[in-house]
Structure 1
């Protein structure tokens, strides 16, 4: 039977920007001022997108220009002040641009992983609301909320995987801080902006928010690390590598890149596009001094 496809314009050559992170570890400082672990790059590429690294020392006008050409943005994990660091300053520029664009019907998604989720909550709330929610080097199942079943992030997940998410340690946690469920529920800005899709319990017993999704805006956050399930292998660290863990990582990468395909931003100049991509950089083998096998330095 002939079918009619009823969908809007789709961008099948998306470029997702990844905001570089400040180097804070002394052993990494000789290699560069900012960095992106290659696991995040591979994660985005595995979903069918190219990656543009975004440096932290550019002007506001340059960031606006970049925003008009990329199709989504990833805030990675790491260590930086959520209010005063360059990382936070640049993230705030893109966050405001994304709000304005989405309000005008110009679709633009943002994803935050680990500190990236924490940063999203600080941007929305206008303040740092972190507390000690240490879950360091531990893989956990998710305590899914009722909102998870109607979420965009988990839409289309097989029933078997949704069940496994609640029973198997599929999510790698490597953090000391987070937003507690109590703090989230008491903050009207956060409660109105995000749906909580899952929670977890920290080593000190604190209940923390582990997965969030924007109610109106295509902004998503996970306190855990989906990229490590397929792309990090340090034996000393609890990276989940089971079939379900790999499936989870794959489906989330596909989901976010598909969100990026809905953005029609593009480069007008193919040469500028080519020179902006991660392919122009060579990752450094870093397994002898970090948990990452490879890191891009800038």
Structure 2
């Protein structure tokens, strides 16, 4: 090879490589070992009381794990100082569905502590996401509004498509969703609903605190004709809520219940789990040492089969 040809080869090589490899990464730090906290739910059914005071359906745990995170169960019997310490270690928080007083219960008390910690942290540039499912979304509206604005929006054991708003197509939650799935989401019953209460659209629009805090990404119509908010996203904060249950699409199978199991329903559940866990990856909170981390995770508990007395295949009790 002549010197001229060699020089041209070298030049071409470096031109190609300069295009293939960025000169600087210039990207924000990412936590590749996230831990999402799940706030335990109060046991209210008599058949469940012999097993523990609080519980987490295994479907929520599997949902978070499927997105690439580990799970820390958070009990309702700790002190404020202990919750503050936990907050410094986890990378996000999930409020699950269930039944509890959203203003006076221990569930509401503990949620309020974490909500205030998350507000303060995000205001200081310390990224921390929160997700609320069903009653968890209702709880987020109570925390933001400072009052309970729920009304009868019964949609019990019904799978429905979503009425997406204009904000949905520019949202963080649905960013990157395939166009086909976004279209299908408005046509096929991909979202399982199991609730009696929610926030009516008109109530949301008339409440300044909710309007300023959240964008409405979707709405639905209840059995009584009430038009309710079904998906929300924080405008300034990484807080998200769905009145429906994305975890059931892949992890609950009771034939008496209308759990969507179509390919599109599975895809929806998968993408949302990955979305929220990726939000958690942006949090750099961490445990003080590996031993403390290991002792805090859900792996230390064994779920029990509960299909004979609940709608869940498995439950963790605490």
Does TM, scored on the shorter chain, surpass 0.5? yes
What is the correspondence of 1:1-16 to structure 2 with a 5 Å cutoff? 1-3=20-22, 4-16=24-36
2:212 is paired with a residue whose SS is: helix
Poorly superposed stretches of 4+, deviation over 4 Å:
none
> Per-residue deviation at 1:7?
1.3
Distance in 1, matches of 2:207 and 2:101, equals: 20
The partner residue of 1:265 within 285, 292, 295 is: 285
1:79 equivalent in structure 2: 99
The partner residue of 1:135 within 151, 155, 173 is: 155
> Per-residue deviation at 1:269?
1.3
TM normalised by structure 2 equals: 0.93
Q: Does 1:275 find its partner at 2:295?
A: yes
TM normalised by structure 1 equals: 1.00
The partner residue of 1:171 within 161, 170, 191 is: 191
> Per-residue deviation at 1:5?
3.1
For residues 36-82 of structure 1, the C-alpha deviation after alignment (integer angstroms, 9 at most, x for no partner) is 00000000000000000000000000000000000000000000011
Distance in 2, matches of 1:82 and 1:235, equals: 30
Distance in 2, matches of 1:157 and 1:68, equals: 31
Q: Does 1:250 find its partner at 2:261?
A: no
Distance in 2, matches of 1:76 and 1:2, equals: 43
Q: Gapped runs of 5+ residues in structure 1?
A: none
1:182 equivalent in structure 2: 202
Distance in 2, matches of 1:8 and 1:164, equals: 33
1:167 is paired with a residue whose SS is: coil
Distance in 2, matches of 1:270 and 1:206, equals: 50
User: Greater CA radius of gyration, 1 or 2?
Assistant: 2
1:234 equivalent in structure 2: 254
The partner residue of 1:68 within 80, 85, 88 is: 88
Q: Does 1:30 find its partner at 2:50?
A: yes
